[in-house]
Amino acid sequence: MHSEAHICHCLSRLAAIRRDSAVTINEGRRKTGMQFVEGVTGLARGLLRLGIKPGDVISVSALNSDLYLEWLLAITYVGGIAAPLNYRWSMEEAKSAMEVARPVMLVTDSSSCYWHSKFKIDSVPSLRWHVQIDGPFNVFANELLAGPARDLDYLWAPENAAIICFTSGTTGRPKGATLSHSALVVQSLAKIAIVRYDEDDVYLHTAPLCHIGGISSALAVLMAGGCHIIMPKFETESAFEAIRYHSVTSLITVPTMMADLISFHSMNRTSESIKSVSKILNGGGGLSTKLVEQATKVFPRAKILSAYGMTEACSSLTFMTLYDPTEEGGRLPSDDIETSNLSSRGGVCVGKPAPHVELKLSVEESCDGGRILMRGPHAMLYYWGLPPSLGSNPVNEGWLDTGDIGRIDEQGNLWLVGRAKDKIKSGGENIYPEEVEGVLFQHPGISGVVVIGVPDSRLTEMVIGCVRVKDGWQWTDSDVDRSQNRCLSGMILRQFCKDKYLTGFKIPRRFVLWEKSFPLTTTGKLRRDEVRAQLMSHAQILSSKI
């Protein structure tokens, strides 16, 4: 008897509590709990008839759909390992990921304009089948219907691996974090406990199912027994329509998504606040105080939480409640903690660890903080195709290095200081750009800011601030203080940093006006390396006084 966790264990509950009520609604297609379970088990039988064995990898590249969700479960049902691929990748990135994962099957949809619409199966040697997820006539459908039905029982891949989830790759090639059934189940239970998903929830899929945020929240709602409203991909207007039409109760966001929802709502002057939404979980970066305040006007009954996590941790490590409408005035005991701005010691508070997460700091860093290490059942098994030791800390055996620098306060809250790889070494001092950005972002004339270090013969690295200016504000190259006239300059911003008590060596020596959007990954993370490369390609900027 196999007593290990399996993400398909939730199917019997779904078949019971949502037997005749909708568990997925996808562009007008409604499936009850029983129909959804039959879809999963039907696919599982087809995979077995094709000869899929425990440990075989099957990749999926498609827009979100109920079928995508069924495939993820069916693959793992028979002991396969699902390896979702980002449909927004280039063909080269997709082939690179498949060279790592070595899938025997690729499942794609019929959407055009993405790499999988032009893919040729013979370009990846490991592939034996290419199946269209929404195609009515394909070889797989014939295989699925052929032969006698057979009894089904859950199977597990070696080491109980369930999903290979590729990191968004802010630098270099994406790596495939191998996540176990146990990690996915424990993460789901933590979200159920903290976010309070339940069988009455109507959950809107806003994140792609190729990302860990989308996968983990979808599994949590499946296990809770809620109803899934599925859009192919996030579009602000479509999301609002879905929220109103289906009386959506919960969704997840990243800061850019929340900003888009707020902006759309404010432009639609006839819009009333959304009363059905009761819980919003934000990831992919902290929400500013201003965004939280604006969000409470759009979603006045929603408890707003923020999560800090990573793919290698199977999603969320810590959670923090930013707004709770059940508290008087929406205020919390933690209101004295600056959740989006910087404390006097530096850093951004991201809350306390989830029940299954153990965190500690290495002691090798300076007083700025230590490297954040984690361990627990949520941690990835390894990067697929790479040595198991990669990512672990040789001094702290069994702990996984997050790559982040932080500190833990007396109340057990984790404060993020910055990314270790983004650390700037200037004049012998360590500077974390996120800290400087947090100060500059408080200026009313700045809509966006990125701080980087560029080579300097005297300082090793010089701190440069790249800023985007809000509409109605003017940038001047003059160092005359015209701040009262809605003007910005390097001198004005340096003085602003001093007024906010930012340590002198951390204040950017030069500022650059950035007139286009900052480059982001598909999950909305900043491509700091691209900002640096673009800045370095304009040598005249660095040689002039800014």
Radius of gyration of the chain (CA): 24
The tens digit of pLDDT for each residue in 4-33 reads 899 999 999 999 999 999 999 998 899 999
pLDDT of residue 482 exceeding 60: no
Q: In CATH, what is the architecture of 7-180?
A: 3-Layer(aba) Sandwich (3.40)
Cα gap 94→88, rounded to integer Å: 9
The tens digit of pLDDT for each residue in 419-450 reads 888 888 887 788 889 889 989 989 999 999 99
CB burial of residue 158 (10 Å; 0-12, 13-18, 19+): exposed
CB burial of residue 242 (10 Å; 0-12, 13-18, 19+): buried
What are the boundaries of each domain within the chain? 7-180, 341-421, 423-543
The tens digit of pLDDT for each residue in 395-423 reads 457 899 998 889 999 999 999 888 888 88
* H helix or E strand, kind and range, residue 130: strand 129-132
Any residues with CB less than 8 A from the CB of 200 and at least 6 apart, and which? Answer: 226, 249
Q: Per-residue confidence at 180, pLDDT binned at 50, 70, 90? A: very high
User: What sign for the dihedral angle of Cα 67, 73, 75, 78?
Assistant: negative
Q: Which residue has the higher pLDDT, 79 or 520?
A: 79
Q: Which residue has the higher pLDDT, 360 or 173?
A: 360
The tens digit of pLDDT for each residue in 33-75 reads 999 999 999 999 999 999 999 999 999 999 999 999 999 999 9
Q: Let me know if domain 341-421 sits in CATH 3.40.50.620.
A: no
Between the CA of residue 167 and those of 158, 309, 378, 522, what are the distances in Å? 22, 12, 16, 10
Closest to 342 in 3D by CA, of 436, 239, 422, 249: 436
Q: Which of 123-137, 258-272, 347-361, 377-391 has the highest mean pLDDT?
A: 347-361
Backbone angles phi, psi at 64, to 5 degrees: -60, 140
The tens digit of pLDDT for each residue in 339-393 reads 444 444 567 899 999 999 999 998 754 556 789 999 999 999 999 988 665 545 4
pTM for the whole thing? Answer: 0.83
Residue pair 341/307 in contact by the 8 Å Cβ criterion: no
So what's the pLDDT on residue 426?
86
Q: What is the mean pLDDT of the chain?
A: 86
So what's the pLDDT on residue 108?
95
Q: Let me know if domain 423-543 sits in CATH 3.30.70.3340.
A: no
Between the CA of residue 91 and those of 94, 165, 301, what are the distances in Å? 5, 18, 43
